Structure 1
């Protein structure tokens, strides 16, 4: 950010400097920080198995061992896609 000197500055010059220098940079910084949130994408058990190329029994075991977190609505089971992707990234082999 640039330095503004108030000595010998007229009110109009001060307003002009704020408008031209500070506000655009502030808008840029705020737009970087406040990006719109992506909606959560939920996957079914079969979609997770297809994505990870595993069997349903493996998925059940991972749920039981708390490797993956399942979310249920009545008799339906869902998984958050971003949690699946985080698990893959976290367990990435180097």
Structure 2
């Protein structure tokens, strides 16, 4: 059976106001600390080759080896810029 909490000497209005106050504080904290995510940017194969200074053969081989993670969208191949940044950071570590 669940826990039962009893509140004495408090009206429902006071209890509701107390909850509303706590929720307002939490919402304000979230607003202060919230940073919206930037939308994902996709690179074409040519843009990826230019950024990494690699050939199309290297791009293809890296895709086969799992180094790059190509995304196919309507018969086209794209790469997430965020994944490329992570790849560069890992290789510099």
1:50-72 Cα shifts (integer Å, max 9, x gaps): 00001010000000000010000
Q: Give the Å deviation of 1:29.
A: 4.0
Could you tell me which residue of structure 1 aligns to residue 58 of structure 2? 58
Equivalent pairs counted in the alignment come to 87
1:14-69 Cα shifts (integer Å, max 9, x gaps): xxxxxxxx9xx856742424x11111100000000000001010000000000010
Taking the aligned partners of 1:49 and 1:28, their CA distance within structure 2 comes to 44
| 2:75 is the alignment partner of 1:75 | yes
**TM-score (normalizing by structure 1):** 0.66
Could you tell me which residue of structure 2 aligns to residue 11 of structure 1? none
Q: Give the Å deviation of 1:74.
A: 2.5
Are the structure 2 counterparts of residues 30 and 83 from structure 1 closer, same or farther at C-alpha, using a change threshold of 3 Å?
Answer: same
